[in-house]
Chain A
Amino acid sequence: MIAEAGLAALWLAAAFALVQLMLAWGAAKQGENPNVGLMMTALRRTALVQGLLALLSFALLIALFVRSDMSVVLVATNSHSLKPLIYKVAGAWGNHEGSMLLWVTVLATAGAGVAAFERRLASATLAATLGAQAAIGLGFYAFLAFASNPFVRLDPPAPDGQGLNPLLQDPGLAFHPPTLYLGYVGLSVAFSFAVGALLTRDVGPAFAKAMRPWVLGAWIFLTIGITAGSYWAYYELGWGGWWFWDPVENASLMPWLAATALLHSVTVLATRDGLRAWTLMLALVAFAMSMLGTFLVRSGILVSVHAFAVDPTRGTFILALLGIYIGGALALFGARVGTITQGSTFQLVSREGALVLNNLLLSVILGVVFIGTLYPLAAQAAGVQLSIGAPFFNKALVPVALALMIATAAGPLLRWRRDNMNALAKRALVPTAAAGVAFALLFALTGGAHFVSVLGIALAIGLGVASVAPVARRNLRRTPLHVWGMVIAHLGVAVSIAGMAADSAFKTERLAAIQVGQNVTVGPFRVTLADVRPTVGPNWSALEARLQVRRGDGAMFELFPQQRFFSTPPTNTNEAAITTLLDGQLYTVLGQGDDKGRWQLRLWWKPFVTLIWLGGGLIALGGLIALIGRVRRERRVAEAESWA
């Protein structure tokens, strides 16, 4: 019964999306109709009900997984009665159908959120926005109902399930997809706002202020998702790296880059009424990148380490949706943007100017990642099989990233509208000096080696100093929260880049084959292989090495890297053992043994590598603080207006 109820809720939600679209049509068109207020109320309530029904449907799917109902195909193929509860729950979205239902649920809930909370937007624009959101929803409901129904029954029921991909049996990954989806789909709201504004030609500061919290929220989740995903790949895949430039990783990075640019341009629109067309464009591009990412991951069109649910039929369906929504929106943009009046202009040397530069550099990075991700596909069309990896991306992106760091440092030091170079130079004196001193010291210490990485660390230090400058001479208690948010986020960028550069310049790797009792050194550590023995977990067995590690004359500690074997489905995974110290991480992986009793060990000493994810966390925290600050300020303004 639960499965049927879930399916019914899904169909009902789809029906409400259809009603929502029609109500939005009426409410947006009949501006002078006396009933428009009534229609708006109906529209808001319809969006709320649609969101609740989608949530109900998703909750019922989770219930099926928790009860291990093996009469449902999706549960039987993706779960197992012996799995720990958290992975049963995560199993609900750790597969194609469930994750698409999650996608729709987030979409519908976001629409309900707009309907419930958005008070500042002109009612015609709000109606058009909710209409666009319903139109997107309808496409995905159709996708679920006709190509990926998660509630299909299995007759006769399976005796037990086939399990969940063991790589996904990790708390980090269990919550990774929902986080990313909140970001991906959150951008659909920005997209709907842009479509709504294009339809009603109402693009101005009020529109930007309404859109900004949604962009900020989506961007926070994307940041957390990417940071967590990177750390997951780092410790779970056991290859010692933190970014692979895999198409699936790029699929999450591209919307993030677009959203970061959008976040900055929407601020220009909200505060200075500039960059109108550009902001709309970015809102469309950001969601286009989300959809393209979903498509790339699901169509199997690109070869990737972790693409799943490879199925051309589904790929075609998503591609069709992509064509309709993104193509349609871009056509609308072309037709309408000429009639949107230009906003305020500004001088080149100004806060706006720096933000435009930031946008251009981010767009270049986005372009490079986009080309690098799709190039193998273009080559394939020309009959060549190839893949593009880290060397291309590093070579192409490092110079742009360094320039972006300088722009990021300069932006907050500039005044809005106009400023002069001399004043900027004066304010930039301390950060520039910090970067210069750091560069000279590091250059001397490394003897000129790792030039680019050393430059990166120095610029990161300069950026760090420049980031705190906006609060340095202010009354800290009266500094608005969103300024704090910016400071923390920019500081996070500096911390993250310092970690990346330090890792690439100073990491040491050691591959050894040693017998029990022998030792090997890596960086400042001496690692002894004490023994290798079998061990068992709830649904796996493993070979576990006991490594005794000593740094210099320091105290000995132990690490236990494993080779795990899962039986359902049969898979081997490497469980790296990592120890985190103040100045970096020691990363150990147990490889194969040979017939002479030697075991392969891969060891990395990665100085300051943790800064990468700490920085990512700071960026997300900064976003959160800015979001809280913006929402509170909006509420205060709204209250003041209601008294006036």
Chain B
Amino acid sequence: MRRVLIWAPLVLFAAVFGLVASGLIKPGDRTIHSAMVGKPLPVLALPALLPGKPGIASAELKGKPRLLNVFASWCIPCIAEAPQLMKLKQAGVEIDAIAIRDTPAAVQAFLARNGDPYARIGDDKASRAQLALGSSGVPETFVIDAAGRIAYQHIGDVREDDVPLLLAELEKAK
């Protein structure tokens, strides 16, 4: 009895070790699933930030799948993702934007420097629309399906290898 007890801790440890090692080798699904995915876009009515570019009204964001990009001129990763958004635009994707806590002059300068992929830009001075979307930072990109539901949420900047993924999600969202 005593001999068995003496080795019990090592056996127990080996079991836990095996379990943890298997968890490490075969990781589970660690992507953050937003609670908003699958739900209709919350009601948004954001005024236009720039002259000549409409603001965001959630009722209008229907008919075909599109991207909704949450960005800001003061956000460094937003500069990094700008070329990818331009690529998506050239691929025929309609991209709308919500500018977080920003000013028209700063956004104007940002778009002049990094290109302007946006069809609409809504002005979200107090981050309210951002919070309603369940977005926790900038940049974030939502895929909105043809029926106006949130089909996919991409957290962080869009990198080169994310572009095919987003295109696939847009295709699925038709």
Residues of A at under 8 Å CB distance from B? Answer: 162, 277, 281, 284-285, 288, 295, 299-301, 303, 310, 312, 315-316, 319, 322-323, 326-327, 330-331, 333-334, 337-338, 374, 377-378, 380-381, 385, 541, 543, 565, 567-572, 592-595
Contacts and interface: CB of A to CB of B under 8 A. Distances in A.
5 tightest A-B CB contacts, nearest first: A330-B10, A380-B28, A570-B137, A570-B138, A334-B7
B75 A319 contact: no
A572 B136 contact: yes
Interface in B1-59: 2-3, 6-7, 9-10, 13-14, 16-17, 19-24, 26-30, 45
B97 to A, nearest CB: 15
Contacts of A310: 30
Contacts of A331: 10
Nearest to A285: B9
A312 B27 contact: yes
B19 A374 contact: yes
A568 B45 CA distance: 28
Contacts of A322: 17
Contact of A380 (B23, B76, B138): B23
Interface stretch (B85-93, B109-117, B126-134, B164-172): B126-134
Residue among A319, A330, A565, A569 facing the most chain B CB atoms (10 A cut-off): A330
22 contacts: A295-B20, A300-B27, A301-B20, A301-B23, A301-B24, A303-B30, A310-B30, A316-B24, A319-B24, A322-B17, A327-B13, A327-B14, A327-B17, A330-B9, A338-B2, A377-B20, A570-B75, A570-B138, A592-B128, A593-B126, A595-B45, A595-B128
Contacts of B143: none
A400 to B, nearest CB: 20
Contacts of B76: 162, 568
B95 interface: no
Contacts of B75: 567, 570
Contacts of B27: 300-301, 312
A330 B137 CA distance: 46
Interface string B110-154: 000000000000000011100110001110000000000000000
Given A327-B10, A333-B9, A312 B24 contact: yes
B101 interface: yes
B72 interface: yes
Nearest to A299: B24
A337 B6 contact: yes
Contacts of B16: 374
A570 B128 contact: no
Given A323-B17, A331-B10, A374-B19, 19 more contacts: A281-B9, A299-B24, A301-B27, A312-B27, A330-B10, A333-B9, A380-B23, A380-B28, A381-B22, A381-B23, A541-B101, A543-B126, A567-B74, A568-B76, A570-B137, A572-B131, A572-B136, A593-B128, A595-B45
A353 to B, nearest CB: 20
A300 B127 contact: no
A39 B113 CA distance: 69
Nearest to B32: A303
Interface in B54-97: 72, 74-76
Contacts of A330: 9-10, 13
Contacts of A572: 127, 131, 136-137
B139 to A, nearest CB: 9
Which one of A162, A285, A301, A374 has the highest number of Cβ atoms from chain B below 10 Å of its Cβ? A301
Contact of B13 (A301, A326, A568): A326
Contact of A315 (B9, B24, B29): B24
Nearest to B28: A380
A293 B74 CA distance: 37
B78 to A, nearest CB: 9
A570 B74 CA distance: 9
A334 B22 CA distance: 25
A159 to B, nearest CB: 10
Contacts of B29: 385
A319 B21 contact: yes
Nearest to B44: A595
Contacts of B13: 288, 326-327, 330
Nearest to B101: A565
Q: Which of A312, A381, A570 has the most CB of B within 10 A?
A: A570
Q: Which of B6, B76, B127 has the most CB atoms of chain A within a 10 A radius of its CB?
A: B6
A426 B121 CA distance: 79
Contact of B72 (A301, A541, A543, A570): A570
A314 to B, nearest CB: 10
A593 B132 CA distance: 10
Contacts of B14: 327
B136 A571 contact: yes
B73 to A, nearest CB: 11
B108 to A, nearest CB: 19
Contacts of B136: 571-572
A359 to B, nearest CB: 15
Contacts of B137: 569-572
Contacts of B20: 295, 301, 319, 374, 377
Contacts of B74: 567
Contacts of A284: 9
Contacts of A334: 6-7, 9-10
